[in-house]
Structure 1
Amino acid sequence: MPPETRFDSARIEAARGVIDPVFLDTPLYPCDALGRALGCRVSVKLETANPVRSFKGRGTELVVNGLAGRAAVCASAGNLGQALAWSAQGRDVAVTVVASRSAPAAKLDRIRALGAELELVDGDFDLARERAVAIAGERGIRLVEDSLDIETCEGAATIGLELTDTTPSFDTVLIALGGGALATGVGHVLKERAPAVDVLCVQPAGAPAMTLSWRARRVVTTESTSTIADGVAGRLPLAEVLADLLVVADDALLVREESIIAGMRLLLEHAGLVVEPSAALGVAAILEDPERFAGRHVVVLVCGSNVDLPAYHRWLGNA
C-alpha cells in the first residue's frame, strides 16, 4: 500500500485548467555556463517569469477559484501576499495580508500596489501567522495558510507536471524548503511520475526547523531564525506538511549564508538572473558539496525574484 498523502493526482492534473496560464509552462532550459561553474549539468526551471515573480501564483489561483467572492487573510513573508492579492483582482475577493515589519520593503510595497490591505506586526513570520489567525476569527473570513492549505501545494505541484512532461533525463531536483508547499507538491509528482529522480530539499542553516523535523521524523521547532532567506524562515513546521515531506524527500540539506550569497552571485554572473536568497538555495547546495553532484544533471528551481535591491547590492558587494 502506498504511503498516505494529502495529494490527489487527478486534482493536480485538473489544476492546470484553473490556473491562469500566465503562471504555467515557465521556462526550463540548460544553463551551460552555470553548469561549468558548478561542475555538473544544470538546468534552470524559472518560476520568476510571471507578474508576481514567484511560483506562489499557481497556488493562489486555486485558492481564489474556490472563494466565490469571500474575503481572505494570509500571513506572508511577501511572496504569498503578492500572489493572493494578484489572484483576487477582478474576482470580488478582498484580501488582507499580515507581514513582519522587517519584511523586504519591495515586497510590502507590491502587496499594497496590488490592492490588498496590509497589516504589519513586530516580529517574524510565525507571529504574523498568529495575527492572521486572529483576524480570520474576528472577521469570519477565510484563513489562507501556505503549505497547510492543499491548494497551495497542488498549485506548486503543477511545476512537477511540467518537469516530467519533458521526458526528463535529469537526475536530481533541488528545491527550496520553507513551509513545504513547493517541496511536497513537486516532490509528489516526481515520485509518482519519475521515481528515479532524487528530490533534495534545501534550507538555510539559520532557519533549519523543517529540515530538523525531516531528519527526526517528528516536528522540531526553533526559538528563532537568522537568515537573509526570509521567504523560507519559519520556526514552527506543520505536522501535516511534514508527513507529506517524509514521503517524497530523499534528503534535506542545510546551507550557510555565505553559500547563499555565492549562489546569488553565480546566478547573476552565469545565468543573468537577479534572484532573492531563497531562490539561490539549490545552487548553494551544489557549492557546498560539489562531489555529490559531479557528473549529474541537476534541475534548480528558481522560485522567486522579489529581492530588496539595496540589500541585494550589499550582499553581492555592489554587483
Structure 2
Amino acid sequence: MGVSPTLADILAARAVLRGRADATPLVPSPYMSMRSGQDFLLKLELAQPIGAFKLRGALNAVMSLPDGVAGVTCCSTGNHGRGVAYAAALRGMRAVVCMSRLVPQAKVDGIRALGAECQIGGGSQDEAQIEARRLVEAEGLVEIPPFDDPRVIAGQGTIGLELLEARPDLETLLVPLSGGGLAAGVALAAKAIKPGIRVVGISMDRGAAMRASLAAGRPVEVEEVESLADSLGGGIGLDNRLTFTLCRDLLDEVVLVTEEEIRDAMQALYFEDCLVAEGASVVGLAAILSGKLALTGPAATIITGRNLDMDRFTRIVTGQDVTLGDRLLKGKPHGT
C-alpha cells in the first residue's frame, strides 16, 4: 500500500475505468486561448457521473477490493466521498463518509443521495480522518484514502494519459493541487510519456497544505479556512507516504491564487465558456488571468467538479458579496 504507483499501474487503472469513468471531453477555450496567447484546453471532469474527477481514483480502489469486505470508509471534502459512495453502490457495499463541518451542505446532501452514510464532525479534514480510522478499527471497514494511496493516484493518473493521447503537443498542464493525488497521478503519467512537459500545481493562497509542506521540506499542518476553492482544503497528513514525494519530484512549480482571482476565474468560465464549475476547478484559469503564470505553447487544465452551492455560485457570478467564514469577499461584476 505504501509503494509508489508506476505507469503500468495507471495503464491497469484505465482498464478498470473503461466505460465507467473515462473519456471525458477535452474542449478548446477560445477566451483563455486569447488571454494566454496559446492554445488553451479544458479537460471536463465535471462530465463524470458524480460531477468530479474523484470518481477515477475511488472506483479504481474500490473495484480492487475482494468480495466479502464489511464496507468502505473515507474522509472527504466532498467529491472523494461522492466517488467512494458511487463506487460502493456499484458493488453493493456499505459506505461511510467522514467530513468536517467546513464541507458545504450541498456536497453532504449529494453523498447521502448516493446511498452513503455521512459522519459530520470536527473543524478539519484531519479530524475527519481520525473518525475514518476509528471506523476501520471498530467496524472493520476498509479505508479508501482521498489521495495518499497508490490505487487512487493511479486512477487520477488516467487523466494524464487521456490528455496526451488527445493532444501530444501539450507543453503545460495546470493541475489543481490539494492533497496531491490528482497532481501526482497526472504528472506521473504525463512525464512518463513526455518527460519535458511542464506540470504546475495550483492552489488557493490560504490553507494550501501541499505548498506549505513542499516549502518546509516535509509534511506540515495548516489552518483550514473557508474558501471558494473548498475542494482544495485539508491537510496532506503528517504521515504522508506517497503524494508529498511525488509532488516534490514531479511538479515543476506551484502557484497560489487569491480568493479574488478565483472569483474572477469562476466568472470567466461561466460567462466566456458557459460552464458552471467549483472554485477548485478554475485555479488554473486564475493563474493565467492574474498574470502569475505565462505560457509558451499549448496548455490544458482540468475542470475538476460541478458539485457546488448554486446560491453562492449565483452570488459570485452576479458580482455580489460573499461571506467566507470571518471574511467578506467583495463582489465584482465580470469584466469590470
Alignment correspondent of 2:117: 117
SS at match of 1:214: helix
TM-score (norm 2): 0.88
Change beyond 3 A, Cα 1:286–1:40 = same
Task: Name the stretch that deviates more: 298-307 or 65-74.
Answer: 65-74
1:76 aligns with 2:97: no
Alignment correspondent of 2:330: none
CA distance in 2, matches of 1:223, 1:252: 19
Alignment correspondent of 1:31: 29
Task: Name the stretch that deviates more: 116-125 or 214-223.
Answer: 214-223
Contact 2:172 2:295 in 1 (8 A): no
CA distance in 2, matches of 1:22, 1:136: 27
Which consecutive unaligned segments of at least 5 residues does structure 1 have? none
CA distance in 1, matches of 2:274, 2:307: 15
CA distance in 2, matches of 1:16, 1:236: 25
TM-score (norm 1): 0.93
CA distance in 2, matches of 1:192, 1:133: 34
CA distance in 1, matches of 2:61, 2:312: 32
Alignment correspondent of 2:327: none
SS at match of 2:221: coil
Alignment correspondent of 1:309: 310
Alignment correspondent of 2:326: none
SS at match of 2:186: helix
Which consecutive unaligned segments of at least 5 residues does structure 2 have? 321-332
CA distance in 2, matches of 1:211, 1:265: 25
1:10 aligns with 2:11: no
Shift of 1:127: 1.3
CA distance in 2, matches of 1:216, 1:288: 26
Contact 2:267 2:316 in 1 (8 A): no
Shift of 1:314: 2.2
Shift of 1:158: 0.4
Alignment correspondent of 2:64: 66
Contact 1:98 1:118 in 2 (8 A): yes
1:261 aligns with 2:263: yes
Letter of the 2:294 counterpart: F
Contact 1:5 1:243 in 2 (8 A): no
Shift of 1:72: 0.8
Task: Name the stretch that deviates more: 264-273 or 182-191.
Answer: 264-273
Contact 2:177 2:202 in 1 (8 A): yes
Shift of 1:92: 2.4
Alignment correspondent of 2:289: 287
How many residue pairs get aligned? The number is 315
Contact 1:40 1:293 in 2 (8 A): no
Shift of 1:279: 0.4
CA distance in 1, matches of 2:188, 2:302: 15
Aligned 1:58-207 pairs, distance under 5 A: 58-67=56-65, 68-70=67-69, 71-207=71-207
Considering only aligned residues, what root-mean-square deviation do their CA atoms show, in Å?
1.9
1:117-155 per-position Cα deviation (integer Å, ceiling 9, x unaligned)? 111113122211111111211112111111112111100
Change beyond 3 A, Cα 1:124–1:5 = same
Task: Name the stretch that deviates more: 20-29 or 41-50.
Answer: 20-29
Shift of 1:295: 4.4
Letter of the 2:308 counterpart: V
Letter of the 2:252 counterpart: D
CA distance in 2, matches of 1:180, 1:26: 21
Change beyond 3 A, Cα 1:90–1:133 = same
